[in-house]
Amino acid sequence: MIIPNVSKLSDEQLKEVTDIVGSFGCKIQVIYGEVQSIYAIIGDERNDDMITKLEGLPFVNRVDRIQSPHKLMDIRSSLASHRVKIGGVTLGQSLFVVAGPCTIDPKNPTLTIETAHAIKEAGANALRGGVWKPRTNPYSYQGDAKALDILMEAGRATGLPVDTEVMDEEHLRLALDAGVHCLQVGARNALNYSLLRQIGQAIVGRDVAVLLKRSIHMGSTQEFIAAAEYIVQLGNPNVILCPRGTSPTLDGYRNHPDESIVPLLKERTWAPVVVDPSHSVGKAAYVPAAALAAIAYGADGLCIEANVAPSKGIGDDPKQAVTPDVLKKIITQARQLWDIRRS
Ligand code: PEP
Ligand code: MN
């Protein structure tokens, strides 16, 4: 990884660097940081002759050789100073909460609009809502592109940035065209490397973030971080890691709560971590404790399913969405815990 002593290489400097690594069978991938762009060497970067040539360039500050399968996501990467921002919030600086219905009902736009206002009132920073849904049962409601207009309208009406899950290239295109601020990769697609690459490619140069859920099965910490590397290596480092419980389940919960992975992620990577307690425990009554546990473990934020009338919602809402009152209490207590953590 090449760290220049300028914020960004000029075209001539980039060509010089590309020519050097090219003669050793490697390529350069630019990672556009807010303050400083860095230049990842794709290929075997261990060749000492190549490193010496690069280090000899007057505009190169240093060349880091991080031997890690996730060298950009690595805590030692120079991307570690990168901050992900959504709406007005810089993740890591204050508690970030994205909340909203599991699924947007295209037949009941009022429910989403009312929920959006209520979650904003409760203190949430962003609105979530499923337009397209990955359903275990193929006969369950699968989503509807019409719901995207409702989500965008709810975002505009409240001024909240919006997050929605995309499962294929068509969803990705529609979501980006509509102006979605955060693309969610669900637990079922978290290891769909083609999709991760498509997303990584599509968001280069855009002010869009990705909320990457941890895969549904109990994969390793490394597997989770490496999935994020697939996105970041294409040029946009705005990735957020989202543990959401794994399978096999803890009897009584929907999944096996995995908020305890947060310190391990924080030790190995710089990426912000936003925990989803809703899919983890799967029942509204258990969500507050799981949410606070996540903050105690060091999470930067929470992704919570919330609905003004959970029983009228579709998808997971009747079971696991909390009401705005409960959300407000979670946010208040999570902020208190955040302050305790920092003290
Ligand atoms: C969701 O956020 O509604 C969802 C389907 O989440 P997951 O991919 O974690 O199951
Ligand atoms: Mn859901």
What's 29's domain CATH number? 3.30.70
Q: Is residue 76 part of a domain?
A: no
Task: Give kind and range of the element (H or E) at residue 48.
Answer: helix 48-55
Task: List CB contacts of 220: < 8 A, sequence separation 6 or more.
Answer: none
214 contacts 247 by C-beta, under 8 angstroms: no
Strand partners of residue 63: 2
Q: Is residue 211 part of a domain?
A: yes
What does the pLDDT average to over 73-91? 92
The confidence score (pLDDT) of residue 11 equals 95
327 and 205 fall within a common domain? yes
| Ligand 1 atom 10: residue of nearest CA | 187
The confidence score (pLDDT) of residue 69 equals 80
DSSP string, 195-236: HHHHHHHHTTTSS-EEEEEPPSB---HHHHHHHHHHHHTTT-
Q: Is residue 79 part of a domain?
A: no
328 and 223 fall within a common domain? yes
- What residues flank ligand 1, with Cβ below 6 Å? 102, 130, 134, 186-188, 213, 244, 276, 279
The confidence score (pLDDT) of residue 78 equals 84
| Ligand 1 atom 9: residue of nearest CA | 187
pLDDT, mean over the chain: 95
CATH number at residue 319: 3.20.20.70
Q: Is residue 239 part of a domain?
A: yes
Q: Is residue 34 part of a domain?
A: yes
The confidence score (pLDDT) of residue 214 equals 98
224 contacts 253 by C-beta, under 8 angstroms: no
101 contacts 313 by C-beta, under 8 angstroms: yes
37 and 101 fall within a common domain? no
CA of residue 102 to ligand 2 center, whole Å:
4
Q: Is residue 89 part of a domain?
A: yes
183 and 99 fall within a common domain? yes
Q: Is residue 71 part of a domain?
A: no
Residue 138's pLDDT band (cuts 50, 70, 90)? very high
115 and 21 fall within a common domain? no
160 and 220 fall within a common domain? yes
For a ligand 1 pocket test, name from 167, 213, 316 the mutation site with the most ligand atoms within 8 angstroms of its C-beta: 213
218 contacts 247 by C-beta, under 8 angstroms: yes
Going 152 to 154 to 160 to 165, the CA torsion angle's sign is negative
The number of domains in the chain is 2
60 and 108 fall within a common domain? no
Q: How many CB atoms neighbour CB 7 within 10 A?
A: 10
* Res. 287: pLDDT tops 90: yes
The confidence score (pLDDT) of residue 97 equals 98
Range of the domain at 35: 2-65
For a ligand 1 pocket test, name from 165, 195, 215, 281 the mutation site with the most ligand atoms within 8 angstroms of its C-beta: 165
* Res. 128: pLDDT tops 90: yes
Percent of the chain with pLDDT over 70: 100
* Res. 67: pLDDT tops 80: no
Of 36 and 278, which is predicted with more confidence? 278
